[in-house]
C-alpha cells in the first residue's frame, strides 16, 4: 500500500455534504489493532478503505486544513469547506478508534485530527513491526518438523511465510 498513488482530490467542494463518507468499522475494519504483531495487516486494511473512498489524504496530510473563516464581500464568514473537512476528520477518527483494541485508545484519545491519530499509531508500532519481520525470518529459518505431522509442519511454514509476505508487501 505504501507505494500507491494518493487518489485523494485535495479540493473539497463548497457547501456539498453529499461527499461526506461514513463508516461501519465493525464491518469495514473487522481486524482490530492489538499491537505491533498485527500492525502491518491492520494498517493495510485501513489504507485500503481510505483509498477506496479517496480519503487517504486525511491520513497522510496531503489535504490541507480548510480555513474556519473566509472573506466574502469584505466580511468574515464561516467556510463551508471547513465544516465538511472537520466532519470527515471526525468520522475517520471514529473509525480508527473503533478499529483498535481499547487498551490502545488512550494513546490517540487526545489527538484532534485523523492524521495525528495515524501518525501516533505509526510511530508506536511501525518500528516494532520491522522487528517482527526479522523475527519471522528467523522463525522460518529455524522451523523443524520434530514429531509433528507433515501437514502441521507445512502449515506452520505456510503461516510464517504468509505473514512475511504480508509484511513485505505493506512495508
Task: Express each pLDDT in 122-131 by its tens digit.
Answer: 888 876 656 7
Instruction: Return the pLDDT at 8.
Output: 60
d(CA 42, CA 121): 11
Domain ranges of the chain: 17-125
Question: Residues 6 or more apart from 86 whose CB is under 8 A from it?
Answer: none
Q: What is the pLDDT of residues 31-44, one digit of tens each?
A: 999 988 888 889 99
Amino acid at each position: 500500500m505504501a507505494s500507491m498513488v494518493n487518489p485523494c482530490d485535495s479540493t473539497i467542494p463548497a457547501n456539498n455534504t453529499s461527499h461526506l463518507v461514513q463508516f461501519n468499522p465493525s464491518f469495514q475494519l473487522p481486524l482490530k489493532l492489538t499491537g505491533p504483531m498485527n500492525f502491518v495487516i491492520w494498517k493495510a486494511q485501513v489504507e485500503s478503505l481510505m483509498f477506496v473512498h479517496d480519503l487517504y489524504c486525511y491520513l497522510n496530510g496531503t489535504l490541507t486544513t480548510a480555513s474556519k473563516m473566509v472573506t466574502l464581500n469584505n466580511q468574515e464568514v464561516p467556510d463551508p469547506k471547513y465544516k465538511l473537512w472537520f466532519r470527515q476528520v471526525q468520522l475517520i477518527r471514529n473509525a480508527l478508534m473503533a478499529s483498535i483494541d481499547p487498551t490502545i485508545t488512550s494513546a490517540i484519545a487526545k489527538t484532534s485530527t485523523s492524521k495525528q491519530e495515524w501518525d501516533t499509531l505509526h510511530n508506536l508500532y511501525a518500528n516494532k513491526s520491522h522487528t517482527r519481520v526479522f523475527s519471522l525470518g528467523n522463525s522460518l529459518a529455524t522451523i523443524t518438523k520434530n514429531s509433528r505431522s507433515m501437514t502441521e509442519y507445512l502449515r506452520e511454514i505456510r503461516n510464517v511465510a504468509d505473514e512475511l509476505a504480508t509484511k513485505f508487501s505493506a512495508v
